[in-house]
Amino acid sequence: MKISSSGIINGIIQDEYGKYGSRFERDMPVYSLPLHIEGAPENTVSFAIIMDDQDAIPVAGYVWIHWLVANLTKTEIPAGDSMHADNGYIQGENSWHVPVYGGPMPPDRPHTYDIKVYALDKMLDLKKGFSVDELYQAMQGHVLETAELKGSYRN
């Protein structure tokens, strides 16, 4: 399985998907990255996505969660899709405590963001605003395959 994004070029997340973009809610960039998933295992029922920032640990004291998605059944997510209520998947709470994509806003230096996609053999029993811990617990024993994509965002 492979994940790609036209919003990440040569390993760099393009400006519009983070703090140099133009779409904000609650002082948080909300224009989500487009994603494309290919080569999922045959028995895949749904996908889950975790986008986080390990480089935030020295600044925030923990891994910063930017986007949590569960029960995704399509293999293509258009740019900005997180903002639409009828996008067909549920979103968990990011580190801003909002169930939507929160784009990169590195405060100290360029950060690298990890986007992990999990192919799952079932739909997950989660509600909007679920936590990353709830997602990990719900996925336990149901992950068929994972894929990872990394991108940096400038300070």
Map out the domains of the chain with their CATH numbers.
2-153 (3.90.280.10)
Note the pTM of the prediction, 2 decimals.
0.97
Tell me phi and psi for residue 23, to 5 degrees. Answer: -115, 115
Identify the band that residue 85 occupies on the pLDDT scale cut at 50, 70 and 90: confident
Q: What is the pLDDT of residues 4-62, one digit of tens each?
A: 999 999 999 999 999 999 999 889 999 999 999 999 999 999 999 999 999 999 999 99
- Give residues with Cβ within 8 angstroms of 14, minimum separation 6: 7, 8
What is the average pLDDT value for the chain, to the nearest integer? Answer: 97
Cβ neighbour number for residue 93 with a 10 Å cutoff: 18
pLDDT at 101 over 90: yes
pLDDT at 86 over 90: no
- For residue 70, what are its two tokens? 């569960």
